[in-house]
């Protein structure tokens, strides 16, 4: 039985060697954190860089969009076909208590895309982010049926029809998660940027490191590669494939504070791991298993105002899995989360004191 190393080709080994320095840089800084005084330890952060709003509650109006797509790249033709679900903008509200932010957003009919033009998508998409002092956890679950091709001109020259090509039979399931460790967690706050339960007072940055996993399943009644591209090459008859991915990641985050209460925070995380593809058999070809090295990219960006009473801003999360296999065909998955919010803070009501204290104990 071949080993994992034997299944990874020479091109993948070159990519692994090229990535290793970047992935190891955060680990070098593991033992380089500075000593903390007693007051910093008690607060769990450096008060010269971070302050908190744990004694207040906040209420905000939220507009959110969680677009996703999958990109099928064909090595023989060089064409890339982009499939998107028909998703709409959601509106709702969010409130924070102590260190926890709750979001509630709903689909509004008047914001939905034209189903005649883009097709109909059914399913569910859930994204969750947990920001702690030293760690950040990201989880996603998406199950969509019904896609349209957003770039038909790449394989149909002169395509000008109003309606996009639609595939109501395509179903995708995407389950994934990632965790990062923040080395400079006493001075650099993710909460200040993405939940506003804290505020960054001074500029600060931090190396981060962690890992990720992803399961992606794609199925359809017929091949998802358009017939104009398949030709007589039956190896491109992709109808049902499962992808299992796991790897390590590393990167850097920085928060810029300006005009006292304005901030711009960004974190870029790059990763490398093993991906196992299990392609189910069709009536035109046999099933197969393939193991390759897989690239991973995650970007978090936030820009906003974090004042004593009022808060406002925009944030964006984007994740790519299955990237840049230029010498082969591949399926790239992309997940996004864009958010616009505006709100204000209030003094914590007395009836919330006991529940908040219990929440507080969980994070001490």
SS3 of residue 31 by DSSP: helix
Query: Closest Cα to residue 254, out of 318, 301, 209, 298?
Result: 301
| H helix runs in the chain, sequence order | 4-7, 10-28, 38-43, 115-118, 190-194, 227-230, 353-363
pLDDT class of 118 with cuts at 50, 70, 90 = very high
- Residues counted in the chain: 364
Query: Is the per-residue pLDDT at 41 higher than 50?
Result: no
Q: What is the pLDDT of residues 138-166, one digit of tens each?
A: 999 999 999 999 999 887 888 889 999 99
CA angle 310, 315, 317 (to 5 degrees): 155
Across 151-203, where does the E strand assignment appear?
A: 166-182, 198-200
All structural domains of the chain, each given as residue ranges with its CATH number in brackets, are 4-26+44-363 (2.40.128)
Q: What is the pLDDT of residues 258-272, one digit of tens each?
A: 999 999 999 999 999
Helices and strands in the chain: count of H runs, count of E runs: 7, 16
pLDDT at 188: 97
More confident residue, 273 or 326: 273
**Predicted TM-score of the model (pTM):** 0.81
Q: What is the pLDDT of residues 45-79, one digit of tens each?
A: 999 999 988 778 889 999 998 888 998 877 666 77
More confident residue, 23 or 77: 77
pLDDT class of 8 with cuts at 50, 70, 90 = very low
Query: Closest Cα to residue 79, out of 71, 70, 87, 90?
Result: 71
Q: What is the pLDDT of residues 297-307, one digit of tens each?
A: 999 999 999 99
Mean pLDDT of 187-209: 95
Question: Concatenated DSSP letters for 118-169?
Answer: H---EEEEEEEEEE-SSEEEEEEEEEEEEEEES-GGGTSTT---SSPPEEEE
């Amino acid at each position: 039985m071949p080993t994992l190393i034997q299944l990874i080709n020479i091109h993948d080994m070159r990519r692994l060697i090229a990535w290793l320095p970047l992935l190891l840089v955060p680990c070098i800084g593991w033992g380089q954190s500075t000593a903390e005084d007693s007051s910093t330890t008690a607060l769990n952060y450096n008060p010269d860089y971070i302050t908190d709003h744990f004694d207040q509650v906040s209420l905000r109006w939220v507009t959110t969009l969680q677009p996703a797509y999958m990109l099928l790249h064909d090595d023989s033709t060089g064409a890339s076909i982009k499939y998107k679900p028909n998703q709409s903008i959601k509106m709702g509200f969010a409130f924070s208590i102590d260190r926890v932010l709750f979001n509630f957003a709903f689909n509004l009919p008047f914001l939905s895309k034209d189903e005649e033009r883009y097709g109909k998508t059914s399913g569910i998409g859930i994204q969750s982010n947990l920001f702690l002092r030293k760690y950040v956890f990201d989880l996603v679950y998406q199950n969509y049926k019904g896609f349209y091709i957003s770039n038909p001109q790449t394989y149909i020259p002169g395509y000008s029809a109003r309606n996009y090509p639609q595939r109501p039979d395509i179903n995708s399931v995407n389950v994934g998660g990632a965790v990062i460790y923040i080395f400079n967690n006493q001075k650099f706050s993710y909460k200040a940027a993405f939940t506003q339960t804290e505020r960054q007072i001074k500029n600060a940055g931090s190396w981060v490191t962690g890992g990720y996993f992803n399961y992606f399943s794609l199925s359809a009644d017929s091949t998802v590669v358009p017939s104009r591209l398949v030709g007589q090459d039956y190896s491109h008859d992709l109808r049902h494939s499962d992808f299992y991915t796991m790897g390590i990641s590393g990167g850097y985050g920085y928060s810029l504070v300006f005009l006292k209460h304005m901030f711009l925070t960004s974190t870029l995380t790059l990763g490398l791991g093993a991906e196992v593809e299990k392609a189910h058999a069709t009536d035109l070809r046999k099933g197969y298993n393939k193991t390759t090295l897989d690239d991973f990219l995650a970007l978090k960006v936030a820009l906003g105002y974090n004042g004593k009473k009022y808060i406002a801003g925009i944030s964006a999360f984007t994740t790519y899995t299955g990237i840049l296999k230029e010498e082969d065909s591949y399926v790239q998955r992309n997940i996004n989360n864009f958010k616009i919010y505006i709100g204000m803070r209030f003094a914590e009501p007395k009836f919330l004191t006991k529940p908040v204290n219990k929440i507080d104990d969980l994070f001490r």
